[in-house]
Chains A and B, each alone.
Chain A
Amino acid sequence: MLNRLFVPALVVGFALVTTAPLLIAAAPFEATMGLVQKIFYFHFPAWMVMFLATAVCGLASAHYLVTRSPAADHTAVAAAELAIVFGLIGLTTGPLWGRKAWGVYWQWDARLTSALVLWLIFVAHSLLRRFGGPGSERLAAGVALFGMANVPFVYWSVNLWRTVHPKASVVRTLDPSMRPALYWSLVGFLVMFAALMAARMRLEALRASIDEAYLSAEDL
């Protein structure tokens, strides 16, 4: 039932994420935050994959609004769901880091609040598709475009406003000894995203064909 790419990609993705702690353990400690900074090696990839999912969802939604292509709609639904999954990882691992680094789990500052709002937009998208009934596809596509437009504000919020969150430049200026762990983890998350995306799109296409077949069966 699943397409041929799903299982190998899932195995590779899981293997990469499973072995990532070996590289993370080998990476040096950060001077001020120490051990807890190592949460960064899966917190950052989770958010990058979340941003990628929002971009895929937004672009597929735009394509759907123009062409009404069912495949674009299936892509948007799958990507929105994965944006929620990877966003949830980012939103739960971040506060664990914050508890040690800032002394509190959560701060209502620009980065954390805008990231939460972005995640809630995609939760709203999925709820709309789940319970919106006929015609909710176009409305959900509009919500997805709005969500995608929010991503640059979330990403640059740390540079635009005063926040407790580390700035975006920490990745660009990352010490070479810390990079292998980050890239390994990032590739693992990306492969996992590709595998889950393939499976979720397949499920959406299958559901659509079942709905069509039910309607045809009723006409018989």
Chain B
Amino acid sequence: MQATQPAAPPRPAAQDEFVPISQLPQTEQVPAAPLLIGAYAIVWIVLAVYLWTLWRRFARAEQDLKTLASRLPPAR
């Protein structure tokens, strides 16, 4: 004959009593929204910085073209 396990007492509702726990559940420890927004911001920042570097390199190439044109002898 098996001994029957006593049923665990029902956990009190948070309204009736605060139940302490030693560690936060995983889902409570790291909020997801800042990570999601951060990830989207990274997409924009990386693309914007790359576009800016591209624009600067085009500007430098144009400057080189102007320098080159000034070095060449005038066409007759």
Contacts and interface: CB of A to CB of B under 8 A. Distances in A.
Interface of A: 1-2, 17, 21, 34-36, 38-39, 42-43, 46, 85, 88-89, 92-93, 96-97, 99-100, 103, 192, 196, 199-200, 203, 206-207, 210, 213-214, 217, 220
Given A34-B32, A93-B42, A85 B54 contact: no
B21 interface: no
Chain A interface mostly = helix
A56 B46 CA distance: 21
Size bracket, chain B contacts: 20 to 34
Contacts of A1: 58, 62
A203 B40 contact: no
Interface string B9-36: 0000000000000000011011011011
Interface of B: 26-27, 29-30, 32-33, 35-36, 38-40, 42-43, 46-47, 50-51, 54, 57-58, 61-62, 64-65, 68, 71-73
Q: Which of B43, B57, B61, B62 has the most CB of A within 10 A?
A: B43
Contacts of B73: 220
